[in-house]
Structure 1
Amino acid sequence: MEQILVPFQAADQGRGAPSWGQRDLWGVGGHEGRHVTLGGVTALPRGTSVEAVAGIVSTLVTRHPTLRTRFHVDAARRLSEQIVSSSGEVALAVLETDHPEQAAFDALVGFDQVRFDFGQEWPLRMAVVRHRDELTHMVAVYNHIALDARGLDAMLADMAERETPPDGAAALPPLEQASWQTSAAGRRQSARALRHWDRILREAPAQQFRKQRADADSPYVKLVLESEAAQLAVRAIAERTRQSTGYVLLAAYAAAVTHLSGSALVVLRVVVDNRFRPGLSDSVSAVSQMGLWSIDASAATFDALLARAMTSSLDTYMNAYYNPEERQSLIESVERERGEPVVLDCCYNDRRRGPQDLKPAADGVPTLTGGQNASAPTDPSEPVTRGTLRAALDRSVLRWEPWTAPTSPVGETLYLHIDDTPNGQGLVFTICGDTAYLAPADIEHCAHMIEDVLVQAALDSGAPIPG
């Protein structure tokens, strides 16, 4: 393996408190120093040179302070300072191989499985694969603390338009985010969000899922369901009810969770991207945080459940930007008052790339346009029928995948991630679960129930929610 050091030289540097997004991803309350990454493999056009790739890397790191940021971790393992450098070198590995696709995959796994050194290492690892003197693939892995999925999108958009300098005034980098967060306005925002958390914490069940196995060999598992039927159903329901697809999916997940837990009250930690906030829309950084969402899922029909989901979702999205240490202190305070731990172990992450429901506004008041990550409504010229749904159901694919991360997550008994299929014709439901609490059969039933709930609701608005 050859390694090239790519220099960068920027005009800005500085140090200061980490932002809320950075500190939340680092972890609080005993979960500090989590290893979470983003990244992937990209096929390169024929004729791409190492020098061209190095030029792109240098440009991106120069433009975006988050990619040249390291951190100080104090004796209590708290993320205490972010340090932005104006100059330095980024390593670019060049892998020579006769099996380029496998080499690219192996490099991706290798990058992902080694923890980042937050204090010494830049938050990106990059490699190119060369086969017979031709570059074939680029591999990139980013420390999640540097950027979230929307931050990655913003960076990729900048990469595509790298000849045009970005509008630096429009996108706040993490140092400027942290400065606002310590202002009076930032403190008011955090206090407002934590009042929302306080209300839900006081009524939430102590634990939604009961432990079934006490042995230490209960694996963390991952199940994937690819469903064109769910995509068709979601769009049909959204069109009929004039609600966003994001709300439709949240309601379907709530129906499955209440069936698994046996509790009508469902409480979820929901990833909110916060990109509707001023200065964050195109920021190459990590600004997403967990919102707290609750719903009485005892509704008789899906449309009734959907109406409740919409109201709860808007409150959640507006109150997912806060000081993470203060949130942890609030949780601990409520637990002391209740005399029991409150386990928030059911999570939801809609990663689809459609338009958001909350759009930025110059006056700081967002405009509601649909659901978070909402996809376009169905084409009315292509009605969803029982026949099309039945045919789509026959094409659904369910599979178990190995859990490849170096550790299992803590406090995530059930976690649903939603993506679009590569062709955009279906949805991918990835359900990760702790089998100490939920048997694999329960996790599989959760996936099928989400699909069944959506299909039945698309066919009959008055149908009872299937169990």
Structure 2
Amino acid sequence: MTATLVEFSGSRGGICGLSWGQVAIWRAIQRMVPDDAVLNMSWVTDLEGEGISVGTPLSRITGTVRTVMERHESLRTRVRAGDDGTPVQDLAAAGTIEVHVVDATADTAPAAAKALQERLTAPAYDYPHEWPLRAGAVRVGDVVTHAVFGICHLVTDRGGLTALVRDVVLCLRGEPLADADDRQPYDQALHQQSAAGRRQSQKALRYWSRHLESVPLQRFPAERERPADEPPFWAATLSSPAGDLAVPLLAGRHQVSTSAVILAAAAVQLARQTGAREAVLQVIVSNRFRPGLADAVGPASQDGLCVIDVGDDDLAPVIGRAMQASLQAYLHAQYDPAALDDLLATVGAARGGEVDLSVSFNDRRFDAQTPVAAGGAVTAEAIEALRPATTLKWERVEHYGARYFLHVNAVPGTLDLTLFADTTVLPAAAVEAHLRGIEELLLRSV
């Protein structure tokens, strides 16, 4: 493997505090250390196989890297400790980045691209010193067959990655990019430090305060001693083709998003297993609906507080409540994380305990917030026939940043749910009961 140096020059540099979205991801990274490399993201583009370009020279790859480095300040931003020890973003006006080049044959190129992807993804980032973008290419003779990219989660999130990949693909095709007018992370941080930003944060935290002063402090009845043969965390993934048919049918019936349907089922099952009458979860909010953030590559996601009244109800009446609660969470998910820390400390002191916010829900699908029409061609019999196709897979996990974290994965043709669970509050039997209970609620409601 060789390395080609690419010089880039942006319009400005500077140092300022982190934006709220950067702080949120920085804290997630710190909770995962020393396993923070699992948060790294990467992708491979098969240039000819995906119809991007044919006979692509290496200069097209290096030009693409130069363009996105200059266009997106997030990719020129490194995070280091400031003079007072708090993290700051250090935006470079110019620099040099390596593009790693692997030579292969036509037969070995796909495997070489996969190996290069693993090499660019596996190491944790050196946050103060390393550029957050890693780039590579697989070359057969004089033609590049695959472009490979790795990126640090600290400088983007799911919505930002979509915008970045779009620009990369356009550059690889040799097409021009539209003018970029979305807010850069540096500008976002300065806005959030302004009087207008503080007012926005205060409004969001008033919403948090109203809920935190009334909901139970703890999410789980009691911890148990972990048996010696159990890992600290289980990661269990339930894949349900039947659920994939049931969810949009229920979403159409109730005229809500498919995400709200899954959230409601998780809330009902969580409340039943913990003996609560309401589910208190943090939902990951992209904030991309806000002005200037739709196509911004910098991180904008933050946790939103979602409180869903479950009571003794079955799933159907909870679906609408879940939609309403999640909308309120979305609207109040831009705030100063340090101010939230102060609020949690104040509420905890007043109520004589620590506020538990260790239950989270994250819908990783890109189209999950769009209401869908009822699936008229789908029948209950067709759904029931797919029940036997459900699978459950397990993974032992040594370290994770939450006691309960349910991810909805983007897997075509199946409702794919991964639950990370602290085994001191949810042993394996409870994890399985939770995931299968969500599926059962959905299928029975159909």
TM over 0.5: yes
Q: Summarize the alignment of residues 41-440 of structure 1 with structure 2, pairs less than 5 Å apart.
A: 41-45=44-48, 47-74=55-82, 77-79=85-87, 81-96=88-103, 100-101=109-110, 103-130=112-139, 135-162=144-171, 163-169=175-181, 171-209=182-220, 210-214=222-226, 218-354=231-367, 373-374=369-370, 376-380=372-376, 382=377, 384-401=378-395, 403=397, 408-410=399-401, 412-421=402-411, 424-440=412-428
CA distance in 2 between partners of 1:221 and 1:108 (Å): 27
What SS does the aligned partner of 1:27 have? helix
CA distance in 2 between partners of 1:275 and 1:29 (Å): 22
| TM-score normalized by the length of structure 1 | 0.85
RMSD: 2.6
What SS does the aligned partner of 1:203 have? coil
Shift of 1:101: 4.9
| TM-score normalized by the length of structure 2 | 0.88
Aligned length: 431
CA distance in 2 between partners of 1:68 and 1:242 (Å): 43
Map Cα deviations across residues 269-312 of structure 1 (whole Å, 9 max, x no partner). 11000011111111111000000111222242322111221221
Map Cα deviations across residues 392-422 of structure 1 (whole Å, 9 max, x no partner). 223333222464xxx7223x1111111232x
More helix by share: 2
- Equivalence for 1:463: none
Map Cα deviations across residues 379-398 of structure 1 (whole Å, 9 max, x no partner). 43x1x222210222233332
Q: Percent identity?
A: 33
CA distance in 1 between partners of 2:29 and 2:113 (Å): 36
Shift of 1:97: 5.8
CA distance in 2 between partners of 1:343 and 1:43 (Å): 45
Map Cα deviations across residues 308-352 of structure 1 (whole Å, 9 max, x no partner). 212211111100001111111111221122221122111111111
Gaps of 5+ in 2: 49-53
Shift of 1:237: 0.9
Aligned partners of 1:213 and 1:437 also within 8 Å = no
* Range 45-54 or range 63-72, more displaced: 45-54
Map Cα deviations across residues 16-56 of structure 1 (whole Å, 9 max, x no partner). 22211111211299849783322233333264433322221
Gaps of 5+ in 1: 355-371, 459-467
Alignment of 1:38 onto 2:41? yes
Aligned partners of 1:27 and 1:33 also within 8 Å = no
Using a 3 Å threshold, how does the CA distance of structure 1 residues 29 and 141 change in structure 2: closer, same or farther?
A: closer
CA distance in 2 between partners of 1:60 and 1:30 (Å): 27
Aligned partners of 2:41 and 2:152 also within 8 Å = yes
